[in-house]
Amino acid sequence: MFFCLLLLAFVAASSVCAASTNSSGLIFGYYYIVTAEDGGAVQYTNNDDGEYTLEWTNNSGSFVAGAGYDPGSAQTIRFGSFEVAGSSYLSIYGWTTNPLVEYHILEQNYGGNDPPVGLTWKGNLTSDSSVYDIYETEIVHKQSILGVTNFKQYWSIRQDLRSDGLVTTGNHFSAWAAVGMPLGTFNYQIVAAEGFASSVNGSLTNAVESPPAGPVRQFSCLVQAHI
């Protein structure tokens, strides 16, 4: 896989390499991750500096995929979604350890998916021109970055949904801490698309940008994740 990536970098930007399972790695300064479960299938393409495209066809499962940083931080992240169809969430998504937390700053909800079930409302904050509602829940015995275990899930859900803009993540992290939702040590932090069980075909092109991460290099790689 990574040999393939390396090879391609020197061969042709339009080349494609494929893996038929979950994938993650670093491509010229940007971390990316693709996971699919329960029959989810998604094609992930890194286009160039932090930009990626996702396509899914007749997806009967779910997936999470995106590009960003490892580790994350309380940084301002620019995202931009240029084309979308199908059913998905667009969010700043990440994990911390000690405590083990999975978090979402939800910016867009394509297809009007139901909000996640079982969330407890903890408060709200105003950031980046909208109010966000803060929620917390406890996830029991599910897959995490540390394997199957229990963990907290934090959400900021934007009231005025949008498909591009700047997210001042530090505002959320401070607001969460103030209502008893502390983060731990940052793990990965990505601009993520999350698709759900649906027989809808979708596609999304997105870009992630923050303080520039290293030299800008042209790159293209296709990752297919499915089970």
Ligand X SMILES: *[C@@H]1O[C@H](CO)[C@@H](O)[C@H](O)[C@H]1NC(C)=O
Point out the residues that are catalytic: 102, 194
For the bound state, the minimum distance from the C-beta of residue 11 to ligand X, rounded and expressed in Å, comes to: 28
- 3 burial (CB, 10 Å; 0-12 / 13-18 / 19+) is exposed
As measured in angstroms, the least distance from the Cβ of 139 to ligand X is 12
**For residue 225, which phi and psi values (nearest 5 degrees)?**
-120, 120
Query: Considering the complex, what minimum distance in angstroms separates the CB of residue 140 from ligand X?
Result: 16
Closest CA to 65 of 28, 19, 97, 96: 19
State the residue number with the nearest CB to ligand X: 37
Interacting residue ranges for ligand X, rule: CB under 6 A = 21-22, 35, 37, 57-58, 60, 123-124, 131, 143, 199-201, 227
- Classify burial at 27, counting beta carbons within 10 Å of its beta carbon; exposed 0-12, middle 13-18, buried 19 or more: buried
Hunting for tokens 């779910």 — which residue is that?
62
* Residue with Cβ nearer ligand X (88 or 210): 88
At position 59, the amino acid (one-letter code) is: N
